[in-house]
Structure 1
């Protein structure tokens, strides 16, 4: 008997224990995630008729457009209606995209929701994400061969996803930044380094100590970190600059194959400046020109940015022209952010959400409505009191506890009904 009790006790220890609070928190988290991704997109109508949608949830169909074929993206509604049984890659959200479902990229499939599409959407942009590959390492996510737990972070410019350890700079805590710009996009949009010196929350790797860092500003100087930690300036030579660019290009090529090893260190003091002081300092003229007049570092790393950092970008005619040439005009649009998309989805879902109880009540007559409301209130009150006992005692609610509750509730209900007296006049 004792052996049986020991075996049952051991089995109980092996079974995962989940509290009611854990279940409710997990459900809320999943609901928020779904709302964030899907809330701003229509689940019933193909988005093609809206043209290039500013931001929407997108998917790629591996069944219809496998690797080796042309990449294509489909909207949320088409993922349900036209590709429901197919293998899909979730692309999260992408900007300025028009649904491809059923166009010339799909050889044997016609869109059920909007079949009259152009052969191609020339304004769409594609990358390896459409084949389920991400980051500089070009690996799937989740990666069955990757044993290192690492979250993926989306670049706000190219919208590719990257492992935190492959970004060259240690990601801050998730609550400490809102957007990230990857190494390649920082190199292409090098003007951002002038802002990064004042706004970014990037932490550089400790391995960078002693390396030669490029500095833009008056005199085009180069800064190195001696052993004592003090900065020393020297004249920048053209040959050295070319050699550094070649080395950086080589480093990028190697980085795409091997993960970056990084460790944390304190942020550079030049990066610590509030938005308020930046606004005060740059009240007139071109903000970017004023920032470029002061030394700042360029590094082969990603950068991490706080909320509302885009509002600090200069919008003078020359800068707006530069944004257009670099195809990053969206950086001046606060509504372009994923956060703005998520908030819009939450508001839309809250407005459209219908209460099943109210729908049921509207289909009943007055007597049935009163009876249902009474039953519902009784159930809610008794269930709340029943679960409160478990919360007060700190015990776990088991399947048999819930079954027992409803059996007792039904028994009480039968006793109430059997005890009622009916009178006929």
Structure 2
């Protein structure tokens, strides 16, 4: 290419065309997201006095606590007042966290809200996010070296963020999911696979996802590892279906995946006795988990996607409650732990706060009657004129240019001059 060929730009061909409707929609989404994330946190008061807050917006300061040091998190108010001008990592929200600003991790920096804080918040949990690294690839976001378009999804258990392509499964299409559990957390909390087969948006036994299935407890490997290669894939899928049908007919129980079953006669007396006792215990205690385990107990090395209110289906018997406590995931039973609950609270608080602190009403309260009438007139005039002017572009799907905006204000100013020039003043 010649050196001067790239200097002449053809905007109609190279610039992306975006309609006003798209711009307005995107702007509304950004405003809603900001209200959702920040609305539930106080921007004027450090959250330290509230202890370990159930959920709040958090930041990490790369200026004060860079990689190689101790991880630390600060609340929204401290990010504004104590770390103004610093390089901050936005962590979205974290659960059960107490603000670290000004404690022993920050050397000489003191919190401007609370000068005296405990040296360490021992119950805080940290991960690589506090150093600006995310996912299994441990890369920053946005990543200047990664040109692959991909969305980041937060795991509801560990609260790390993951690239969609690194979760071991395809994101559900045309299906709304509320929460995601990453592969590592699914492995640590393997009992969730019993629920995933029946509750998750993408069922654990769906043959079309990816990876081979594995029995959770007895270690039997699935006979049909899924392969992405035409005829071989189809043949194996058909063989799996035939195998499943055979297995279901022989044992008179539902089978949603292909797996090599153990022969009853191969089991030892102790194993058989243990199995009978487990089934009897499930019937007697009414444990949902044990009942599900009797049916399909498969797992993958992948993430799972869950619908709204899936947590309500988790068993709450004493045995399961002890299991949640041991795995430190009792928060799954708290309906207000979800990000959705936090976002809804933020939106509601923002709406209430907005009504209480409307800037127009505040300005009007400090004006005399003549000024109030003039301001209201000007405000309504601008609002009405701008709405009608932009609506024409939105209806026609046209792009609003800077010249269009300039023309609007020139016309508005012209109308204002005509209105003022036409006024007559009389002395009584």
Q: How does the TM-score come out when normalised to structure 2?
A: 0.80
Match of 1:186 in 2: 186
Query: Are residues 9 and 326 of structure 1, via their aligned partners in 2, closer, same or farther at CA, if it must alter by over 3 Å?
Result: closer
Are 2:152 and 1:149 equivalent residues in the alignment? no
Match of 2:269 in 1: none
Are 2:373 and 1:370 equivalent residues in the alignment? yes
1:51-90 deviation digits (Å, cap 9, x = unpaired): 0000011111111111111111111111111111111111
1:351 and 1:212 map into 2 onto residues whose CA distance is: 50
CA contact (8 A) 1:157 1:181 kept: yes
CA contact (8 A) 1:36 1:341 kept: yes
Stretches of structure 2 that go unaligned for 5 or more consecutive residues are 1-6, 225-234, 244-257, 265-282
Q: For structure 1, which segment, 311-320 or 382-391, has the greater mean C-alpha deviation from structure 2 after superposition?
A: 382-391
Query: Are residues 310 and 373 of structure 1, via their aligned partners in 2, closer, same or farther at CA, if it must alter by over 3 Å?
Result: same
2:148 and 2:408 map into 1 onto residues whose CA distance is: 44
1:153 and 1:67 map into 2 onto residues whose CA distance is: 23
Q: For structure 1, which segment, 408-417 or 135-144, has the greater mean C-alpha deviation from structure 2 after superposition?
A: 408-417
1:190 and 1:389 map into 2 onto residues whose CA distance is: 56
CA contact (8 A) 1:221 1:236 kept: no
2:288 and 2:207 map into 1 onto residues whose CA distance is: 29
1:168-193 deviation digits (Å, cap 9, x = unpaired): 12221485211111111111111111
Query: Are residues 115 and 205 of structure 1, via their aligned partners in 2, closer, same or farther at CA, if it must alter by over 3 Å?
Result: farther
- Number of aligned positions between the proteins: 373
SS of match in other structure, 1:116: coil
SS of match in other structure, 2:84: coil
CA contact (8 A) 1:167 1:183 kept: yes
SS of match in other structure, 1:234: coil
Match of 2:261 in 1: 234
Q: For structure 1, which segment, 125-134 or 292-301, has the greater mean C-alpha deviation from structure 2 after superposition?
A: 292-301
2:302 and 2:16 map into 1 onto residues whose CA distance is: 41
SS of match in other structure, 1:374: helix
CA contact (8 A) 1:17 1:396 kept: yes
Match of 1:303 in 2: 304
Are 2:217 and 1:224 equivalent residues in the alignment? no
Match of 2:58 in 1: 58
Are 2:314 and 1:313 equivalent residues in the alignment? yes
1:260-307 deviation digits (Å, cap 9, x = unpaired): xxxxxxxxxxxxxxxxxxxxxx99811112112223212221111111
SS of match in other structure, 1:401: helix
Match of 2:82 in 1: 82
Match of 1:21 in 2: 21
Query: Are residues 34 and 299 of structure 1, via their aligned partners in 2, closer, same or farther at CA, if it must alter by over 3 Å?
Result: same
How far is 1:215 from its partner? 5.0
Query: Are residues 389 and 57 of structure 1, via their aligned partners in 2, closer, same or farther at CA, if it must alter by over 3 Å?
Result: closer
Q: How does the TM-score come out when normalised to structure 1?
A: 0.81
SS of match in other structure, 2:56: strand
SS of match in other structure, 1:350: helix
How far is 1:129 from its partner? 0.9
How far is 1:41 from its partner? 0.7
* C-alpha RMSD of matched pairs (Å): 2.7
1:193 and 1:202 map into 2 onto residues whose CA distance is: 12
2:182 and 2:158 map into 1 onto residues whose CA distance is: 8
Stretches of structure 1 that go unaligned for 5 or more consecutive residues are 1-6, 238-281
Q: For structure 1, which segment, 311-320 or 396-405, has the greater mean C-alpha deviation from structure 2 after superposition?
A: 396-405
Query: Are residues 374 and 182 of structure 1, via their aligned partners in 2, closer, same or farther at CA, if it must alter by over 3 Å?
Result: same
SS of match in other structure, 1:89: strand
4+ residue segments displaced more than 6 Å: none
Match of 2:253 in 1: none
Query: Are residues 53 and 406 of structure 1, via their aligned partners in 2, closer, same or farther at CA, if it must alter by over 3 Å?
Result: same
SS of match in other structure, 1:124: coil
CA contact (8 A) 1:155 1:161 kept: yes
How far is 1:365 from its partner? 1.9
